[in-house]
Structure 1
Amino acid sequence: MDTADRPFHRRHLLRGLGGIAALTAVVPAVLGSSPAGATTSTVLASGLPEVVGMNSERIEDVFARVQRRVNDGLFPGATALIARRGVIVGHRAFGNKVAGCTEPVTLDTMFDVLSLTKVLATATSVMVLVQQGKLQLSDRVASYLPSFAANGKSSITVLDMLRYSAGLPVDNQRLDEPNVKLVWRAMAETPLEYTPGTSILYSDLTYRLLGRLVEVVSGTDLSTFAHAHIWGPLGMHDTMFKPPAEIAPRVAATGTSSLRGRLVRGEVQDEQDFALGGITGCDGVFSTAMDVAIFCQMILGLGSYGAVQVLTPKSVELMTRNQTPQVSAAATDTSPLNNLLLAPKGLGWEIWTPRFSHGGTRLSPGSFGKAGGAGTFLWIDPARALFGVLLTNHGLPEPFDEIGWNRMLDSIGVVEFFDGMIGAVADAC
């Protein structure tokens, strides 16, 4: 399943991966035990690393390595945060918000988190709707999006979509079509690349359509729903789609768009999501390291943060464990890009595997995380009650192919960051 000689472009279908359908299909179980070591209802507060069994000097080493990469010009700026057992042991800002300009990143700088949107907004919103009784994971997507039934997709379920096993390609962008309604229809009617449920394939298209499903079921747009049921209750006030112009100075720029002819700042970098209005289930959320940390702590708290409960423990269990037994890590964790595209997944989340995960090589089995294509990452290690957030304004790799993806990971040093985070744990558990 090696894609080393097969370029991956977000603007084109990933042809040639239909062979992954040959993997054996297994119906996933949807119940499991709670993540080991999880804390409940903890509110984050700053403290010394030693209070939670971590080493201050090693924490500083992790941050120094991020600073060195910024100093070397590998990306303009970043914020990073590490927390364990509800204690923030380090929160730092590095570099500048705009490449080539002296405009320092601060702790409250907002970043285009791109695909972190899939968990910060979309998958979590779906689970909220399930909790409300308005949706079931076994529901057929075409019941809510009738045009989705085209090309043999009438039996695909919400669960298939959430776990990236619906049979859809990586993407189906239509940047040459100005009629947004026609673009959405074309996306919904996209033919299958493999038999649903037999394999997995990471898919921006799938999550765009899931965002539409949330809107149909809830009767409001994804932004409004996420604010009302996730970000607002949690106090994530710096998390949003389409930041207003007046707060643009707080937002880190991700680069220049040749299509838009300007610096991309406060606008989602992905061209298709921008063309669709900037609010989609795939990309579009902007956030800070602190807000992302609150979300991570809520997940570690089995859906609760302080007195607020966003998800039930069962919902967190379903989202964060491997929901794709039809694939094995041994067969799919064969390169950094294959890890993203083909390796085991939860509901929205990427499940840690030991070879080529961008979470590094030292996380505990059962850890889970998410990457954003412009250079944003989070990983949660429930066995250690530990998580890390690294947000950068590296911007989408150009070109977005295997070499470009590898180069971005190496430039940011994301594996070094998360391996260093684990290396800073000084106790045995």
Structure 2
Amino acid sequence: MTQVAAVAAVAPALGSEPWSDVCSTTLTPGRPEDVGMSSDRLEDVFARIQRRVNDALFPGATALVARHGVIVGHRAFGSKVAGSDEPVTLDTIFDLESMSKVLSTAAAALALVQERVIRLNTPVARHLPDFAANGKGAITVYDMLRYSSGLPMDNQCLDEDVETAWCIMAETPLEYPTGRSVLYSDLTYRLLGRMLEAAAGEDLHTIACERVWRPLGMNDTMYNPPTDIVERIAATGYSSRRGCVVRGEVQDEQDFALGGITGCDGVFSTALEIAVFCQMILNGGAYGGAEILRPDLVRQMKKNNTPQVTAAATDTSPINNLLLTPKGLGWELWTRRFSNGGTRLSPRSYGKAGGAGTFMWVDPDREIIGVLLTNHGLPQPFDEIGWNRMLDNIGCAEFFDGVINAVHW
């Protein structure tokens, strides 16, 4: 079978499914007991976040828990800048790093599929000709979305001008045969975002903003926040290249060097607006009166799109969980050993981590949304030990396990 034929066999056929299959639940505040949860147990969850802030494991955080469309807890902790007296508030905006892959890139890609601007089996090189180099001409949007393109994790080009950097990244050789494995790749999503911009004739911020964020009322979700709202933004870590603590700019150096709008990182948002996005997915693609993604596209987005790998073989450490385990389109999928969503979510759960210390998980069986945003900052160095240390400092698994522990029925 040729590579093109193999892609056609694997890429899902999506139709124009009616919106009658979706609900329009919107998030409203309420009591945990109204949706079968314990106030006391949720208070324990929040107290544990506060203890970590008190122990200076990270400067600040916001956390939100919702069930059946009811926000049962929304709290703020600590400070926006380490050592400052600027308290985090419920509307504090955080650098989401790789959560951008879901909130922007994957959602934008499916919105363009819905508009028939692209298809899941569209070759990336059709809109990004340099990408065809080194035998990559048949790699599709679908391959990229499910982290199975064959590209390496990254190819940093920090000392090149922007256009040269994009060319070098596009021409990067494959590390493994397309579709054979899973490898979480910033490079893959960076290039996918670039391709979507070429296909739509708009930058990624505009694509996501017009088709997803603004229809959902996500007015505090953006790339490159304007300087006049910097006081609302939580700072992350120190940048030796920029010579300052990063605040209001994406912390990742490669994405900052490319202008801050990429498919990999760069989105900023609040816990509430992330929860709105998650509720839209939980609803089947709609929220209130806004119809964002067709139900079939949402189902495709959150299902296991990587049957070529198994959790049993790949869920062997926290870093391997991120890099190698089964994936949705953009989403990480829950596994029972080393998921950053803990050990107690239901098997169909899906979520996403951001490298500076942000997390969102959706448990569809219990209809629970959990969002935990911190300004921990990117691990230094960003290696296995650094990743493990960040997860331990933040206690993301403890947070999500505690949320599930608060469920009575």
TM-score by length of 2: 0.95
- Which ranges of structure 2 fall in alignment gaps of 5 or more residues? 1-6
Q: Which secondary structure does the structure 1 equivalent of 2:184 belong to?
A: coil
Which of 36, 43, 52 aligns to 1:69? It is 52
Q: Which secondary structure does the structure 2 equivalent of 1:90 belong to?
A: strand
Is residue 2:246 matched to residue 1:264?
Answer: yes
1:118·1:281 contact (CA, 8 Å) conserved in 2? yes
Larger mean CA deviation between 218-227 and 86-95 belongs to 218-227
Partners of 2:119 and 2:210 lie apart in 1 by 20
Aligned to 2:229: 247
2:379·2:386 contact (CA, 8 Å) conserved in 1? yes
Aligned to 1:123: 106
2:236·2:376 contact (CA, 8 Å) conserved in 1? yes
1:27·1:197 contact (CA, 8 Å) conserved in 2? no
Partners of 1:26 and 1:146 lie apart in 2 by 20
Shift of 1:224: 1.1
For residues 155-197 of structure 1, give each alpha carbon's deviation from its aligned partner in whole angstroms, at most 9, with x where no partner exists: 11110000000000000011111x1101001000000000000
The one-letter amino acid of 1:335's match is S
Aligned to 1:82: 65
Aligned to 2:4: none
Q: Between the two proteins, what is the percent identity of the paired residues?
A: 67
Is residue 2:332 matched to residue 1:350?
Answer: yes
For residues 97-117 of structure 1, give each alpha carbon's deviation from its aligned partner in whole angstroms, at most 9, with x where no partner exists: 000111100000000000010
Aligned to 1:333: 315
Aligned to 2:91: 108
Taking the TM superposition and a 5 Å limit, the aligned residue runs for 1:183-332 are 183-332=165-314
Is residue 2:399 matched to residue 1:417?
Answer: yes
Is residue 2:129 matched to residue 1:142?
Answer: no
Q: Which secondary structure does the structure 2 equivalent of 1:383 belong to?
A: coil
The one-letter amino acid of 2:382's match is F
1:26·1:198 contact (CA, 8 Å) conserved in 2? no
- Which ranges of structure 1 fall in alignment gaps of 5 or more residues? 1-24
Partners of 2:11 and 2:173 lie apart in 1 by 27
Partners of 2:278 and 2:172 lie apart in 1 by 34
Shift of 1:225: 1.2
Change (3 A) 1:359 1:31: farther
Change (3 A) 1:307 1:26: closer
2:28·2:71 contact (CA, 8 Å) conserved in 1? yes
Shift of 1:262: 1.1
The one-letter amino acid of 2:358's match is T
Q: Which secondary structure does the structure 1 equivalent of 2:254 belong to?
A: helix
Shift of 1:263: 1.5
Shift of 1:31: 7.1
Change (3 A) 1:417 1:27: farther
Runs of 4+ in 1 over 6 A off after TM superposition: none
The one-letter amino acid of 1:401's match is D
2:310·2:326 contact (CA, 8 Å) conserved in 1? yes
Shift of 1:30: 3.3
Shift of 1:260: 0.3
Change (3 A) 1:158 1:55: same
The one-letter amino acid of 1:74's match is L
Q: Which secondary structure does the structure 2 equivalent of 1:370 belong to?
A: strand
2:37·2:406 contact (CA, 8 Å) conserved in 1? yes
Aligned to 2:3: none
TM-score by length of 1: 0.91
1:26·1:197 contact (CA, 8 Å) conserved in 2? no
Shift of 1:213: 1.2
Shift of 1:28: 4.6
Change (3 A) 1:28 1:323: farther
